[in-house]
């Protein structure tokens, strides 16, 4: 695969492979069920979703448990993760490659991104915002590390691989027919349903 950024190369290779084993557990499944039941409560029943950076499908497993009839699609850059994702949701529903190149012309009710924008090269964020917007015909759910101003922080010994900023605010500024309808925070020290300090924003296209 040809990549536009160092970050894409990083996640497509060994580090992305290692991420798979760190992010699959019964506890994560329970936390995801709680997370999505809160984050999507104002959206009602969701019939279809495309996840950007779906990895092996842990978020999708939770969505399928909450909405048994949901149609799921995923985009994943890491080959090993994409192969597992295909088992979860079917070959035809998985795009293996960069978010920047993914075809999102078949719209879904919910565009989902969780813990992925923080790893995108900042110069390419508008490309991803546009993809999230074009993919959805109703809702966009953004769940990332929040900071009011852009900052870069070390990530497992690597530099320029983790960024914090107001992703949702930038998205809303870019699309004036979108409105914030709910938001919340999932804390890593939650005694029952921990997440990785994710601030989530549910946005509706008007």
7-21, 80-94, 155-169, range with greatest mean pLDDT: 80-94
The string of pLDDT tens digits covering residues 64-74 is 999 999 999 99
pLDDT of residue 18 exceeding 80: no
Give the domains, in start order, of the chain with CATH numbers: 6-205 (3.40.50.150)
Q: Which range among 19-28, 45-54, 90-99, 144-153 shows the weakest confidence by mean pLDDT? A: 19-28
pLDDT for position 15: 47
pLDDT for position 28: 87
Q: Which range among 9-13, 92-96, 171-175 shows the weakest confidence by mean pLDDT? A: 9-13
pLDDT for position 5: 76
| Strands 94-96 and 48-52, bridge-based pairing | unpaired
pLDDT band at 19 (very low <50, low <70, confident <90, very high): low
Average pLDDT, the chain: 91
* % of the chain at pLDDT higher than 90: 80
Beta bridge partner(s), residue 113: 52, 142
């Amino acid at each position: 695969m040809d990549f536009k950024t160092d970050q894409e190369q990083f996640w497509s290779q060994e580090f992305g492979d290692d991420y798979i084993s760190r992010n699959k557990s019964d506890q994560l499944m329970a936390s995801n069920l709680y997370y999505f039941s809160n984050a999507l409560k104002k959206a009602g029943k969701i019939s279809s979703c495309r996840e950007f950076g779906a990895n092996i499908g842990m978020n999708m497993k939770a969505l399928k448990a909450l909405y048994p009839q949901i149609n799921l699609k995923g985009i994943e850059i890491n080959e090993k993760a994409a192969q597992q994702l295909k088992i979860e949701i079917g070959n035809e529903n998985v795009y293996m490659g960069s978010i920047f190149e993914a075809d999102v012309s078949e719209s879904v009710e919910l565009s989902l991104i969780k813990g992925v924008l923080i790893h995108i090269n900042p110069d390419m964020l508008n490309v991803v915002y546009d993809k999230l917007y074009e993919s959805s015909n109703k809702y966009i759910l953004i769940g990332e590390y929040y900071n009011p101003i852009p900052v870069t922080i070390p990530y497992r010994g690597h530099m320029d691989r983790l960024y914090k900023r107001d992703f949702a605010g930038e998205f809303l500024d870019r699309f004036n027919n979108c409105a914030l309808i709910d938001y919340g925070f999932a804390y890593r020290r939650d005694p029952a349903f921990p997440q990785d300090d994710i601030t989530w924003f549910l946005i509706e296209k008007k």
